[in-house]
Amino acid sequence: MLIAGNWKMNKSGSETAEFCSSLKRRVDALAGRVDISVFPPFTSLAAAVTGLADSEIAVGAQNVHWEREGAFTGEVSAPMLRELGVYAAIVGHSERRQYFGETDETTARRVAAALEAGLFVIACVGELETERDAEETEDVLRRQVSVLSEDDRLVVAYEPCWAIGTGRTATPDQAREAHALIKSLLDVPVLYGGSVTPGNAEELLGQEGVDGALVGGASLDLDSFAAICELAASSS
């Protein structure tokens, strides 16, 4: 079971250092029962790596470019992340697709480059609300997953776009069906993401085919994130 916290554009370096120090104390007893990782913004990665160096909590980045170096203003490469001590990267998040022009093709290139460089990868897939209403969820997931290849260091996160940051969550049946489809296409662990909270985590994590959670807003609050980690440890 993996619980990953995507902090998005939140927490400065000093806030990250303080949070990581407290998180270590809160979840230390869960070591070996659940895998935990945090994904701070680029400017806070160094603080997180340093703050969690003596723990089992991994640190990942929220994005990674497919080239090792070059004229790509605003991007960061996998070798740069590796040198910093970063363990993993999120790729293809719906917010990257919605606001920054990420496509299935660029997602695939980022995933391949990150894996080749030795990073673990959480590749995000998920349908828009209009696509679900039009009964296109299966087609969308098949298309998004088709650009990925099985790898021991690849994890897929199913995040229905209409549930991200909205307070809405997929029903257990919806989550179970989506995870079953993804696993039929690609033999990798699949996380659920989309307004995961301590109040719904136990039911979602208990569904067949759900191998953990990619947590957004709730990962910014120590008590909430620790509670989700504890629920995952008890259900694994």
Q: Which of 228, 207, 216 is nearest to 166 (CA)?
A: 216
Question: Catalytic: 65?
Answer: no
**Residue of 122, 112, 119, 111 lying closest to 84 (CA atoms):** 119
Q: Distance between CA 88 and CA 82 in Å, rounded?
A: 9
Question: How many whole angstroms separate alpha carbon 136 and alpha carbon 28?
Answer: 42
Helix (H, G, I), strand (E, B) or coil at 190: strand
Query: How far apart (Å, rounded) are the C-alpha atoms in residues 97 and 124?
Result: 10
Tokens of 207: 């569904």
User: Of these residues, 65, 93, 131, 230, which one is catalytic?
Assistant: 93
Residue listed under structure tokens 């980022």: 110
Give the per-residue SS3 of 134-177.
CCCHHHHHHHHHHCCCCCCCEEEEECCHHHCCCCCCCCHHHHHH
Which residue in 102, 127, 131, 159 is the catalytic one? 159
Instruction: Decide: residue 29, CB within 10 A, 0-12 exposed, 13-18 middle, 19+ buried.
Output: exposed
Q: Is 93 considered catalytic here?
A: yes
Give the residue numbers annotated as catalytic, written as ranges: 93, 159
